[in-house]
Amino acid sequence: MSAGPRTAAAEGLGLCLACHALTPCPPGRRVACRRCGAALALRKPHSLRRTGYYVVLGFLFLIPANLYPIMTILQFGRGEPSTIVGGVAKLWSQGLWGIATIVFVASVVVPLAKLFGLCLLLYSVHYQTELCPLNRTRLFRLVDFLGRWSMLDIFVVTLLVGLVHLGQVALVLPGLGALAFVATVIITLFAAQSFDPRLIWDAHSADEACDDNDSDEKPPHA
Amino acid sequence: MDASPATPPLDQLHACPACDLLLAAQPLNRGQDACCPRCGEVVRSGRADSLNRAFWISSAGLALFAPAMGLPLLSMTLLGVHEDASLTEAIIALFQAGFPEVASVVAVSALIAPFLNLWLMFGVSWSLKRRYRPRILPSLLRLNHRIREWSMLEVFLLGILVSIIKLADMSELVVGLGLYCFIGLMLCTLLLESAVDEHDFWQALGGEARP
């Protein structure tokens, strides 16, 4: 057990992210997977830089997504455009706290948490911080899982626009904010896809998991 | 490499997709998951009869697809005026309202991606069941792997729920037949992920040749 557990990259093996077969691969090169033919590399190429660009773009689109109205609900010709936060506030004022919380989490908390979470991951990988890699992997899993739920508000707008077009009586119109918000969601999905979670572990020796486990490796004093 | 014993053949090795730890392949019982000892990622899941399951689940999903997309999900009555909307109609309405980009994204995530996912799983499992392996199968499986994360039916269902609550105080709402089909369709796409192990497909393909 002197060598301890090893990584595939240390053995010169690249993992195919489509079919999970291993193929010998020189560092920094792309080869075709020997089973399914997909292009693979030891690590996703330019992962940090690409994720960084997407994160910056995501933050930029988040501004118009929240400033412009996402939709307008007109009843008898009256009604005002509402932004994402405005819609949540309206639900809250109607006493629908549960649903207001769900929409708030999906449309405001998740995109922000996702972008800040990716920032933290990018920072920690680039500067090789001492943060526990296991917790960072968990953070990435959370970011990856939560992202899709931001589409909630867009789907609500789609349904309301499709359902409510009764002319003078009631009408729902989409707003420019919906366009910017869709862009944010798509960009953050791409950002999570282009991040390679294996980079989190690359700075650590293969058999340490957390700082807590360091004590196991030290020789006993007695 | 020097300190290590001879590396076993590549097909008996796995690597964790989340932390790249090399792992020895071990046979799994049905319902068992193989987790990475370092980061806890599920590396393999043992599923009984993945091919047959995928075949029948995707068949059921395809049967439900047209009614789920075409029949009205909700209908509302306001001052005697009646209105209903199916998923397809809602996407077209958004398109006509001057937001083709948003409508396209919704179409991909709620209609096209689930549709392709079901057809690809149906087609691939059908041909593998009959031991028919055309050269295009690996590409189809790969396409399925990529398209799957763009299928967001479960998010759409939550969207329907939020819409119902938003409209409830404004008008009379009736749940349409399309909604029941939609829920069934969504369950099929979720089952395709949890009850089927994609790795069984790759093994059935058996293209492990070229060392």
Residue B160 has pLDDT above 60, yes or no: yes
B41 within a domain of the structure (yes/no): yes
The CA distance from B168 to B174, in Å, is 10
Same domain, B83 and B133: yes
Structure-model confidence comparison of residues A212 and A38, the more confident one: A38
Same domain, B185 and B100: yes
Same domain, B124 and B26: no
- CATH number at B171 reads 1.20.140
pLDDT of residue A4: 53
Average pLDDT over residues A30-56: 88
B198 within a domain of the structure (yes/no): yes
% of chain B exceeding 70 in pLDDT:
94
Express each pLDDT in A132-150 by its tens digit: 888 888 999 999 998 889 9
B115 within a domain of the structure (yes/no): yes
Query: So what's the ipTM on this one?
Result: 0.87
Nearest chain B residue to A133 by CA distance is B39
Q: Best mutation site among A17, A47, A159, A193 for testing chain B: the one with the most B CBs within 10 Å?
A: A159
How far apart are the CA of B59 and the nearest CA of chain A, in angstroms?
24
With cut-offs at 50, 70 and 90, classify the pLDDT of residue A205: low
B108 within a domain of the structure (yes/no): yes
Residue B21 has pLDDT above 60, yes or no: yes
Contact with chain A for residue B98, Cβ under 8 A: yes
Structure tokens, A8: 């595939």
DSSP string, chain A: --S-S-BTGGGTEEEPTTT--EEE--TT--EE-TTT--EE-SS-TTHHHHHHHHHHHHHHHHHHHHHS-SEEEEETTB--EE-HHHHHHHHHHTT-HHHHHHHHIIIIIHHHHHHHHHHHHHHHHHTT--S-HHHHHHHHHHHHHHGGGGGHHHHHHHHHHHH-B-TTSEEEEE-HHHHHHHHHHHHHHHHHHH--TTHHHHTS-TT--SGGGHHHHSPP--
B211 within a domain of the structure (yes/no): no
The CA distance from A118 to A116, in Å, is 5
A131 within 8 A of A138, measured Cβ to Cβ: no
The boundaries of the domain holding residue B163 are: 50-205
Express each pLDDT in A169-184 by its tens digit: 788 888 899 999 999 9
CB atoms within 10 A of CB B26: 11
Same domain, B111 and B173: yes
Residue A152 has pLDDT above 60, yes or no: yes
How far apart are the CA of A134 and the nearest CA of chain B, in angstroms?
6
B18 within a domain of the structure (yes/no): yes
> What residues pair up with B173 in beta bridges, in sequence order?
B76
B147 within 8 A of B117, measured Cβ to Cβ: yes
% of chain B exceeding 90 in pLDDT:
39
Contact with chain A for residue B7, Cβ under 8 A: yes
Give the rounded distance of the alpha carbon of A155 from its chain centre.
19
A32 within 8 A of A39, measured Cβ to Cβ: yes
Residue that has been written with the tokens 């119109």 in this structure: A173
Express each pLDDT in B24-73 by its tens digit: 877 777 778 888 888 888 888 877 788 888 999 999 999 999 999 999 99
Average pLDDT over residues A198-221: 56
B1 within a domain of the structure (yes/no): no
pLDDT of residue B211: 37
Average pLDDT over residues A102-119: 92
pLDDT of residue A109: 92
Same domain, B17 and B93: no
Which chain B residues are Cβ-neighbours of A202 within 8 angstroms? 20
pLDDT of residue B8: 63
Residue B6 has pLDDT above 60, yes or no: no
Number of domains in chain B: 2
Residue A2 has pLDDT above 60, yes or no: no
Chain A contacts in chain B segment 103-162 (CB below 8 A): 103, 105-106, 109-110, 138-139, 141-142, 145-146, 149, 152, 155-156, 158-162
CB atoms within 10 A of CB A217: 10
Same domain, B158 and B183: yes
B2 within a domain of the structure (yes/no): no
Same domain, B109 and B135: yes
